[in-house]
Amino acid sequence: MLKGKHLIDPMDLSLEQLDQIFNLADDIIKNPKDYMEVCKGKILATLFYEPSTRTRLSFESAMHRLGGSVVGFSSAGSSSAAKGESVADTVKTIACYADICAMRHPKEGAPKVASLKSDIPVINAGDGGHQHPTQTLTDLLTIRSLKGRLNDFTIGLCGDLKFGRTVHSLIKALSRYSNIKFILISPEELKIPDYIKEEVLIKKDIQFKEVERIEEVIGELDILYMTRVQRERFFNEEDYVRLKDSYILDKKKLKNAKQDMIVLHPLPRVNEISVEIDDDPRACYFKQVKYGMFVRMALIMKLLGVEK
Ligand code: CP
């Protein structure tokens, strides 16, 4: 039963609940007209203290496509946070206006704090360098739809694995499926945090290796998950400039990849995927964007407890 729950961490959802969400998303994709009014009279609040294109607008499109309404703000500066209001007070206020909210915040743990004070479901739409569970739902639905399974594959995660919240959430979520091998591709300075390695990969005896060059491993991969080196997470510009072009996926690198490998990216990209490969059938990151909206439609329905 998902009605009334918060979604803060990908592990808040059991495998059975994930399946329920993905099955509902599949049905929404097939029969969108059946869902056009299911959230009529319901309001989603989008509380975004940090910039976003996909997450905020896909949540908003999702609610509109379900027949509901949306209120919210897209930056801390346009809310009373600018006057010093706490996240707890903001969410208590929003709960008087809306039925469900999605919150993005630069501080790790802010959506969790909000959920402790909220009478309505709070969805973590990305908290600092920590977690991004709805991106993970997007990634899992994309993989399930395009590869037909969520087990038995080798996935390469490439780029900023240190600050990349999408990667942290995806590893946690995939660690519950069988026979997944992780290849972690990053420069030394942007390696996956020890807590993910120790508490997830080593603890669960999951196969993984860490490498620095994409060329070494691209031929082994069923999925290549690229990420951006995130300027906003660096403490100094010098380190960012030195590392920002560590990986650029282009036609030459893709030559040695399997024909049925898929390339995913949570987006936005800067230049880590050359636009020259956008037309390659393996480039699936814009399909991934669309799955993100459908899976958020399914999630909103489940957390609100509304049915077709
Ligand atoms: N993938 C993702 O979170 O994109 P936005 O930052 O545009 O929301």
266 close to ligand 1 (CB < 6 Angstrom): yes
* Active-site pick, 54, 147, 176, 242: 54
**Centre of ligand 1 from the C-alpha of residue 205, in Å:** 31
**Whether 200 contacts 171, CB under 8 Å:** yes
Residue 176 appears among annotated catalytic residues? no
Closest Cα to residue 172, out of 12, 55, 292, 5? 12
**What does the pLDDT look like over 97-150, one tens digit per residue?**
999 999 999 999 999 999 999 999 999 999 998 999 999 999 999 999 999 999
Looking at residue 243, what is its pLDDT?
74
Tell how far CA 5 is from the center of its chain. 18
Looking at residue 234, what is its pLDDT?
67
Low-confidence ranges of the chain (pLDDT < 70): 234-235
Looking at residue 229, what is its pLDDT?
83
Closest Cα to residue 182, out of 217, 137, 143, 230? 217
Looking at residue 170, what is its pLDDT?
97
54 close to ligand 1 (CB < 6 Angstrom): yes
First to last CA, the chain: 16
**What does the pLDDT look like over 68-79, one tens digit per residue?**
999 999 999 999
Residue 168 appears among annotated catalytic residues? no
- 38 CB neighbour count, 10 Å cutoff: 19
* Active-site pick, 6, 42, 46, 55: 55
Kindly report the pTM of this predicted structure.
Answer: 0.95
Looking at residue 211, what is its pLDDT?
96
Residue 134 appears among annotated catalytic residues? no
Residue nearest to atom 3 of ligand 1 (CA): 55
Looking at residue 242, what is its pLDDT?
75
Looking at residue 78, what is its pLDDT?
93
How far apart (Å, rounded) are the C-alpha atoms in residues 197 and 200? Answer: 6
**Centre of ligand 1 from the C-alpha of residue 79, in Å:** 20
Domains of the chain: residue spans and CATH: 10-131+292-304 (3.40.50.1370), 134-277 (3.40.50.1370)
Residue 302 appears among annotated catalytic residues? no
